[in-house]
Amino acid sequence: MTASEGEWYLSDLANGIERSRILSIATQVKKMKAEGQEVTAFTVGDFSPEEFEVPPSFTNELAVAVNQNQTNYPPAAGIPELRESLSDWMEYKYGLNVGSDGIVVGSGARPVLFASFKLFLEPGEALAHGVPAWNNHYYVHLNSAKDIAIEGNSESRFLPTAEGVKERISEIRVLILNSPLNPTGTCFTAEELGAICDVILAENHKRRKNGKKPVMLVYDQVYSTMTAQGIEHVHPVQVRPDMFEFTITLDAISKSLTATGLRLGWMALPPKLAAPVIALIGHMGSWPARPIQQAAAATYSDHSKLESYFEDLDSRISERMEVLFTRLSKMKESGLPVDFIPPQGGIYLSTQFNLFGALGVNTNEEIRLWLLEEVGIAVIPFQAFGLEDESGWFRISIGAVSVNEVSDAMNRLELALQSIQ
């Protein structure tokens, strides 16, 4: 049966679901590698276990729980000791005190992200998000929402600005922000985030008087523990305490513990809003396995050990970013057509390959294919993150590559760029 033949059976929602462009490119890369071609995969936001291992204390606790036959259903919201340890961690690290009743656990960040949209959005209401950003345009479709894209640019480090939010604030029901930002590896400053919060607070003051539902901020901080030297992650409630009642925070071990395949995320929200989320997670059955929850509970209860792990993780990320930053800087200084935004957080670097004239092409896709086929470098164009401009901007991800692989890839890139000058 072809896709078109299947459309008759499916809902309009199902027929309109797009496949991830990132995963499509990753499939292409895997095929090339299987054929023996040299390709450095700066593509998916995953971690190679050989390069970035899960904390041994976590896997030890996981094994203990399995060996103790802890294999039955956990509570829909998460086991009590996990909710307690995550609540304590959020207060310790970010000054956000929702208590254990304000923590709801899911099997990765995606179920709690989806639940956070379902908690507030009616069909046709507006979901606002920055572009470029990860997958928000897909969630607009899945929630039958009105799409408000707030476009960033290189001057704003591709982050949405308070001015951009203010222009559309009267239409917005839910605003999602991500910092450090996937795909750009950039972070809000306290001033930038505070200015956006001020726009939300002013609008909600008007709406309270008019009896209208407020603007809710979904704050995705799954990369919050990964910041470059001198960069500090900030949370909305830290910069504007009055944002507490309007903020839903998303976090996960997927990135912070480099445990993408173990699937544990959580939502921190005002406790009075938790009950419907717990019910939705329960109906979806999207809770993490009990042994994973027990291991996470033990891990997040030891703050000093966690901080040591994050320091080591940041240093290993920095090693790879330093190679990229140094080599791309030298290429740019020598007149080669590359540019970038200095890395601030996460595992991503915003990189511009301005090769339209040199290659005689018009699209990012043509540049991507040249980099893949001629240089052996796999990168993701910003179109995969909702920014449709043919501007030569791409995401480089270092989560699945070694320092030597990064260095070798930069050697090939420099030679290839020199050859087309």
Domains identified in the chain and CATH numbers: 3-52+308-419 (3.90.1150.10), 56-302 (3.40.640.10)
Confirm if 280 and 115 have CB atoms less than 8 A apart.
Answer: yes
- pLDDT of 33 > 90? The answer is no
The alpha carbon torsion through 17, 18, 20, 21 (nearest 10 deg) reads -170
Rounded CA gap, 208 and 213, in Å?
7
pLDDT score of 38:
86
Range scoring the smallest mean pLDDT among 7-16, 128-137, 334-343: 7-16
Kindly indicate the confidence band of residue 10, based on its pLDDT and cuts at 50, 70 and 90: confident
Nearest to 366 by CA among 344, 394, 339: 394
What is the average pLDDT across 326-351?
Answer: 96
Output the CA–CA distances (angstroms, integers) from residue 209 to 105, 213, 228, 240, in the order listed.
Answer: 34, 10, 42, 21
56-67 and 290-300 helices cross at what angle (nearest 10)? 140
Q: Vertex 398, ends 396 and 404: CA angle to 5°?
A: 115
Which residues have CB under 8 Å from 413's CB, separation 6+?
Answer: 327, 331, 371, 375, 377
CB atoms within 10 A of CB 211: 6
Task: Tell me the pLDDT band of 34, cut-offs 50, 70 and 90.
Answer: confident
Task: Report the pLDDT value the prediction gives residue 4, as an integer from 0 to 100.
Answer: 63
- What is the average pLDDT across 17-28? 78
| Chain segment 400-409, per-residue pLDDT in tens | 999 999 999 9
Residue 1: the pLDDT is: 45
> How many angstroms separate the CA atoms of 309 and 13, rounded?
42
| Mean pLDDT score across all residues of the chain | 94
Rounded CA-CA distance 155/137 in Å is 23
Q: Is 314 helix (H, G, I), strand (E, B) or coil?
A: helix
My answer on whether omega of the bond before 180 falls inside 30° of 0, hence cis, is: yes
Nearest CA among 296, 318, 328, 232 for reference residue 87:
296
Mean pLDDT of 248-265: 96
**Looking at 21-25, 101-105, 404-408, which range is the least confident one?**
21-25
Mean pLDDT of 206-222: 97
Taking only the tens place, the pLDDT of each residue in 352-399 is 999 999 999 999 999 999 999 999 999 999 999 999 899 999 999 999
pLDDT of residue 112: 94
Q: Which amino acid is at 372?
A: L
Residue owning tokens 């043509």: 366
The percentage of residues in the chain with a pLDDT greater than 70, rounded to a whole number, is 99
Question: What φ, ψ does residue 250 adopt, rounded to 5°?
Answer: -115, 135
pLDDT at 97: 97
As a dihedral over the C-alpha atoms of residue 87, residue 244, residue 348, residue 27, rounded to 10 degrees, the angle is: 80
Whole-model pTM: value is 0.94
> What is the per-residue pLDDT across 163-205, written as a single tens digit (0 to 9) for each?
999 999 999 999 999 999 999 999 999 999 999 999 999 999 9
Helix (H, G, I), strand (E, B) or coil at 129: strand
